[in-house]
Amino acid sequence: MGLNEKISNSAEKGLGATKEKAGHVLGNPDLEQEGRVDQASASTKQAGEKIKDAAGEVGGDIKSAAQKLKDGFNK
């Protein structure tokens, strides 16, 4: 996983946690849910990046397949 992706995913996850907590404190279930969705999205992206990295160690063909899998997660 590249450094930029790690930073981006961590920031998205942190922002999601902040939104979730703010929604809870403010009694805003929509904001709370949006925070949960942001966190899940960041976790999915991290998983996709880890798969891509592992595949890169095995070979080019597997790396290509992992990218397709990652793209499927982001839809």
Q: What is the pLDDT along the chain (75 residues), one digit of tens a residue?
A: 578 888 899 999 999 999 999 999 999 999 999 999 999 999 999 998 888 877 767 776 766 777 888 887 776
What is the reported pTM?
0.68
Write the single-letter amino acid at 14.
G
Write the single-letter amino acid at 57.
E
H, E, C per residue of 25-62:
HHCCHHHHHHHHHHHHHHHHHHHHHHHHHHHHHHCHHH
Return the closest-CA partner of residue 56 out of 44, 46, 66. Answer: 66
Residue 28 CA neighbour count, 13 Å, CB half: 14
